[in-house]
Amino acid sequence: MAKSPKRRRTLPRAAVKAAGHRRMLDAVAANPRDYGWFEDCVHTCWFTDGRHMSLLAPLVFHQTRGQLTWTAPVDTYTDGASIPTIFWSIIGGPFEGKYRDAAVNHDYECCVQERPWQEVHRMFYDGMMARGVEFWRASLMYFAVYFFGPRWPKPAAPPKRGFTEGDIARAADLFQKDPEFRREPDAVLRRIEQLTPAKLGDSSRRIPRHIAGAPLLDDSRKIRPVTREGPCLKHCV
């Protein structure tokens, strides 16, 4: 009797879709040095409040874009919070992820305000990419600092576009599923800067509940911008 041909095992469609989604979530820059590199990692002394730290050694980031060098000096005093805390529900705390080093340089520059705020926020994005932060997470954090982070000089104010807390999850969902946010960095940042609540609403009418942390977000609450006050340096003993 002739044997019936063996059937090739295939994964369920849902499993294939889930695997593809996971690859998108985990996607990082193929060559992080295209964005820049850090000379070292963070060496810190923590203050007793459990929130603040200061640097024990300079943290230097060489940004490929513009061939710029950014240095957070010894005694840089930071809590890493140059974005609204409501974003932490989705991206994690300020010192938990691979974006930590970029956050320290960014926080220092937001305090001393010696370079244009646009350059500082773009440095933050490039620093995250150089440290291997996922495309979607770096895009969401750039969205946070561009629209709600510090701007200077003082008369400059974030554009009043009416973003709500729910738009954080909508933006995260958009950045995760749209491959356009994994392309050439200048084009990516321009797309983020042009976002509006209406555009995010077109992407997802309701708050995407599959986004981690989304149940904590409320469309009835607006996102408030943050400021960065001194001291910029503080010695830790």
Spell out the SS3 assignment of the chain: CCCCCCCCCCCCHHHHHHHHHHHHHHCCCCCHHHCEEECCCCCEEECCCCCCEEECCCEEEEECHHHEEEEECCCEEECCCCCCHHHHHHHCCCCCCCCHHHHHHHHHHHHHCCCCHHHHHHHHHHHHHHCCCCHHHHHHHHHHHHHHCCCCCCCCCCCCCCCECHHHHHHHHHHHHCHHHHCCHHHHHHHHHCCCHHHHHHHCCCCCCCCCCHHHCCCCCECCCCCCCCCCECCCC
pTM recorded for the entire structure: 0.87
For tokens 């003082």, the residue is: 154
Question: How many Å apart are CA 55 and CA 76, to the nearest integer?
Answer: 5
- Quote the pLDDT of residue 58: 97
Asked whether the beta carbons of 170 and 204 are under 8 A apart, the reply is yes
Q: For the chain, give every domain's residue range.
A: 31-216
- Quote the pLDDT of residue 14: 44
- Quote the pLDDT of residue 2: 58
- Quote the pLDDT of residue 9: 58
pLDDT averaged per 10 residues, the chain (length 237): 59 46 63 94 91 95 96 93 85 82 95 96 96 94 94 73 93 93 89 95 92 94 89 93
- Quote the pLDDT of residue 91: 87
Asked whether the beta carbons of 183 and 34 are under 8 A apart, the reply is no
